Amino acid sequence: MLLTEQTEMIQSVARKIAKEQIAPQAKEVDEKGETPWANLKVLAENGFFGINVPEEYGGVGSDMVSHVTVVEEIASVCASTSVSLSTQALTIAPFLLAGTEGQKKKYVTSLATGQVLGSFGITEPGAGSDVASIKTSAVREGDHYRINGHKVFITNAGESEIYVFVTRTSESRTNGVSLFIVEKGTPGLTFGKKEEKMGIRGSVTREVFLENVKVPVENRIGEEGEGFKILMNVFNETRPVVGAQATGIARGAYEHCLNYVIERQQFNKPLHHFQMVQAMLADMAMKIEASRLLVLKAAMMLDQHDPNVIANSSMAKCFASDVAMEVTTNAVQLLGGYGYVKDYPLERMMRDAKITQIYEGTNQIQRVIIAKQIIENAKK
């Protein structure tokens, strides 16, 4: 009812593909802990990496609402696979917001078609939530820059061909930040070991080292010193995508749980006859619905270029990820011992849910952002 005919069509294709082609491998993807290339090929063949990217840059040319709808469907069966969609969106966003025509043609086209993966390197050992304290430096030397630094927790590092790095071009905290494109294979760009993670184990996370990496001036996205502003706008666009991922994980867990409590009998009754179980199901359904609506509202605001989207993007990410953690935990509870073992997908979903409260800005940081905007608005 809320969605246009085109979005409903994209959603139904994504749902079918998720169920038939992604879900069967989800357990194996988690166990292997490697990039699920076969799944990513399916996503690419169906245009899922570029749903909201204009057609002239290899995308489908639809909108953010369709994009978050696809991410929810994929995440509902395999969160690891959905991380490639959200990370690709994170890498594409700075190009669309501030890239030159040449950069968009050269890089966005191969990212949006899913020909190659992209990574976005912000976090450093000493700079997580406090992004403006990054130390990776980019020093201009004539027609090129030299980049030196160390990034941590970079999704798809080593697997991606295209990297966007957040660097420091002057001492000014926020006005001294600039973004650069670095291609895999550039001398001085190397990768650390794969992190062993609690969840989203089929999404590879590595450290990145930049040692005297030389990139031409044309590889800078936006003007020197504009990087922080671009980055904040990127997050406005990508936080609802993480919200959609969280909504998908929660929905996947809820649907398994619902089937289980209808089948499973204790005290000579199916579990769903017990009022305490019913209340848990009702809370799950209600909160998942609320998550989806917050995600859709933020996506709609982005499609309408609404400048007030900042708080809404953070609300979508923060609420949906808190719900994902709560719903997956309660779904494990309702499966009892079976929820805790790997024969059922619930323990995986609970592990996968946790990261959505941490990356793309922790939920404490989202609350800081929401409070800042509502207080500013109240003072106007």
Ligand X SMILES: Cc1cc2nc3c(=O)[nH]c(=O)nc-3n(C[C@H](O)[C@H](O)[C@H](O)COP(=O)(O)OP(=O)(O)OC[C@H]3O[C@@H](n4cnc5c(N)ncnc54)[C@H](O)[C@@H]3O)c2cc1C
Q: Which residues bind ligand X (CB under 6 A)?
A: 87, 119-123, 128-129, 153-155, 197, 205, 355, 358-359, 361-362, 364-365, 368
| 69/155 with CB nearer ligand X | 155
Please, what is the minimum distance in Å from the beta carbon of residue 130 to ligand X?
6
Please, what is the minimum distance in Å from the beta carbon of residue 290 to ligand X?
23
| C-alpha of 284 from chain center | 22
Please, what is the minimum distance in Å from the beta carbon of residue 183 to ligand X?
17
Distance CA 234, CA 94 (A): 6
Catalytic option among 73, 237, 347, 360: 360
Would you state the structure tokens that stand for residue 349, as one six-digit string?
């979903």
Contact 172/191 with Cβ under 8 angstroms? no
Residue with tokens 């996968």: 352
| 65/234 with CB nearer ligand X | 234
| 154/244 with CB nearer ligand X | 154
Sign of CA dihedral 102, 103, 104, 108: positive
Residue 44 identity? A
Please, what is the minimum distance in Å from the beta carbon of residue 5 to ligand X?
34
| 62/87 with CB nearer ligand X | 87
Would you state the structure tokens that stand for residue 69, as one six-digit string?
């709808």
Please, what is the minimum distance in Å from the beta carbon of residue 162 to ligand X?
13
| 280/355 with CB nearer ligand X | 355
| 153/344 with CB nearer ligand X | 153
Please, what is the minimum distance in Å from the beta carbon of residue 286 to ligand X?
27
Please, what is the minimum distance in Å from the beta carbon of residue 321 to ligand X?
12
360 is catalytic: yes
Distance CA 26, CA 37 (A): 13
Please, what is the minimum distance in Å from the beta carbon of residue 257 to ligand X?
25
Tell me whether residue 303 is exposed, middle or buried, using C-beta atoms within 10 angstroms of its C-beta: 0 to 12, 13 to 18, 19 or more.
middle
Sign of CA dihedral 46, 52, 57, 61: positive
| 120/319 with CB nearer ligand X | 120
Point out the residue whose Cβ comes nearest to ligand X: 128
| 94/339 with CB nearer ligand X | 94
Q: Strands, DSSP E only, in the chain?
A: 118-121, 137-141, 144-155, 162-168, 177-183, 189-194, 205-216, 220-221, 265-266, 269-270
Residue with tokens 């000493």: 126
Tell me whether residue 15 is exposed, middle or buried, using C-beta atoms within 10 angstroms of its C-beta: 0 to 12, 13 to 18, 19 or more.
middle
Distance CA 281, CA 283 (A): 5
Degrees to nearest 5, angle at CA 322 with 320 and 323: 60
Distance CA 215, CA 69 (A): 37
Tabulate helix, strand, coil % of the chain (nearest 5): 60, 15, 25
3-state secondary structure of 35: coil
Task: Indicate which residues carry an active-site annotation.
Answer: 360
